[in-house]
């Protein structure tokens, strides 16, 4: 199998983290045609990376779909918990990343920087980030203690989004966004202690800094 990847993408990074954590035999490559080109959209209908190319030449888009597929075909090294409730709780962290932290905090901050609008006058966006971190703090308090369970796909889906916003926040003058969120900070330390997660995060942060010219 091949993963069409760009290191700076948080969505591709979560799949790379899973590949690293499980030691999967998946070739990690840049897309065969440029992302954003007509050729890319013609070959990959959703027009986004990551894309997983299967051994029969067919493709799967969407990071979460790819992660669940990789779990299904490599059950010996499962990153999914046992039982319906634990599986639902795993999904919650991934849903939080994709429906809260990404749209409400990560993408607005990223857009301010890449659009050239700059980092001044971004109080509303920083308030939205704080609101999302408070939401995550509550979510982690409500879920069973992460320290008492194994790493799962939900952690891996969320980790790159959180790494990304923590990289962007200082550009907006917020040096320690997790200052008031001890559980989030503890979760981040815990998730980073996995070598596969740490490797994927380091790859992403290097690529993001290069992307921003830093």
Interface residues with ligand GSH (CB under 6 A) are 9-11, 35-36, 47-50, 62-64
Supply the minimum distance, in Å, between the C-beta of residue 10 and ligand GSH.
6
Give the 3-state secondary structure of residue 58.
coil
The DSSP code for 44 is S
Contacts of 103 (CB under 8 A, 6+ apart): none
Consecutive H or E run containing 64 = helix 63-73
Nearer to ligand GSH by Cβ, of 11 and 172: the residue is: 11
Nearer to ligand GSH by Cβ, of 18 and 137: the residue is: 18
Question: Helices 153-168 & 10-22, crossing angle to 10 degrees?
Answer: 130
Beta carbons of 58 and 66 less than 8 angstroms apart: no
Supply the minimum distance, in Å, between the C-beta of residue 134 and ligand GSH.
24
Beta carbons of 167 and 113 less than 8 angstroms apart: no
Supply the minimum distance, in Å, between the C-beta of residue 189 and ligand GSH.
25
Nearer to ligand GSH by Cβ, of 164 and 181: the residue is: 164
Contacts of 97 (CB under 8 A, 6+ apart): 157, 158, 161, 162
Supply the minimum distance, in Å, between the C-beta of residue 158 and ligand GSH.
12
Nearer to ligand GSH by Cβ, of 166 and 181: the residue is: 166
Beta carbons of 21 and 156 less than 8 angstroms apart: yes
Exposure letters 59-81 (e unless 16+ CB within 10 A, then b): ebbbbbebbeebbeebeeeebbb
Supply the minimum distance, in Å, between the C-beta of residue 164 and ligand GSH.
9
Supply the minimum distance, in Å, between the C-beta of residue 49 and ligand GSH.
4
Nearer to ligand GSH by Cβ, of 68 and 130: the residue is: 68
* Two tokens, residue 103: 């749209």
Nearer to ligand GSH by Cβ, of 179 and 211: the residue is: 211
């Amino acid at each position: 199998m091949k993963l069409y990847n760009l290191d700076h993408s948080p969505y591709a990074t979560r799949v790379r983290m899973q590949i690293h954590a499980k030691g999967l035999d998946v070739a990690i490559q840049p897309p065969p045609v440029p992302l954003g080109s007509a050729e890319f959209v013609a070959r990959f209908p959703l027009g986004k990376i990551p894309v997983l190319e299967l051994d029969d030449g067919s493709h799967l888009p969407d990071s979460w779909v790819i992660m669940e597929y990789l779990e299904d075909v490599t059950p010996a090294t499962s990153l999914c918990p046992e039982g319906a409730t634990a599986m639902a709780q795993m999904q919650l962290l991934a849903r939080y990343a994709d429906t809260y932290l990404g749209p409400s905090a990560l993408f607005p901050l990223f857009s301010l920087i890449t659009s050239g609008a700059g980092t001044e006058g971004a109080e509303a966006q920083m308030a939205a980030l704080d609101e999302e971190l408070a939401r995550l703090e509550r979510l982690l308090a409500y879920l069973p203690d992460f320290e008492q369970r194994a790493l799962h796909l939900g952690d891996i889906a969320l980790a790159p989004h959180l790494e990304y916003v923590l990289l962007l926040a200082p550009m907006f003058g917020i040096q320690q966004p997790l200052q008031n969120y001890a559980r989030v900070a503890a979760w981040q330390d815990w998730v980073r202690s996995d070598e596969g997660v740490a490797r994927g995060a380091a790859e992403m942060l290097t690529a993001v800094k290069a992307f921003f010219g830093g």
